[in-house]
Amino acid sequence: MALKKSCKQLVEEANTKIQTLSFDEARTKLGQANVQFVDIRDVRELEREGTIPGAMHAPRGMLEFWIDPESPYFKPVFTENKQFILFCQSGWRSALATAALQDMGLSGVCHIEGGYGNWKKSDGPTQAKEKKHNDKA
């Protein structure tokens, strides 16, 4: 099957129209009252790898529904006057998510270059995520 665009092309296109923060830029915003870090990874990734302290979990598959006030899944946190800093593991999913939320009209949304993997590699603070998921069959 020939695709019109690859996932890499979609990410590259998203990156041309969104704001991307370096690790250092994102690190300086950690703990600021007007900033909300948003971890869009799967819950199993959070449980395995940890997360950025204070980050809220908003699974990638639900993100658009959570920001839409007309959705039954709407989360009021997304109407607060904050900068929303999204991250995934490597920055690909968060680039696509940032572009989608920006297209929907959410202002002040950006993402972290290199994602959580870069955050950890750069010795950014992390915290464990309590396991609520049972991996046993």
Q: What is the pLDDT of residue 1?
A: 81
CATH number of 12-121: 3.40.250.10
Q: What is the pLDDT of residue 54?
A: 96
Write the pLDDT tens digit of every residue in 51-107.
999 999 999 999 999 999 999 999 999 999 999 999 999 999 999 999 999 999 998
Q: What is the pLDDT of residue 137?
A: 47
CA distance 94 to 85: 9
Q: What is the pLDDT of residue 135?
A: 55
Q: What is the pTM of this model?
A: 0.92
CB atoms closer than 10 angstroms to residue 125 = 13
Q: Which residues contact 36 (CB under 8 A, 6 or more apart)?
A: 56, 77, 80, 82, 83, 84, 85
Helix (H) or strand (E) holding 109: strand 109-112
SS3 68: coil
Q: What is the pLDDT of residue 136?
A: 55
Listed by start position, the domains of the chain span 12-121
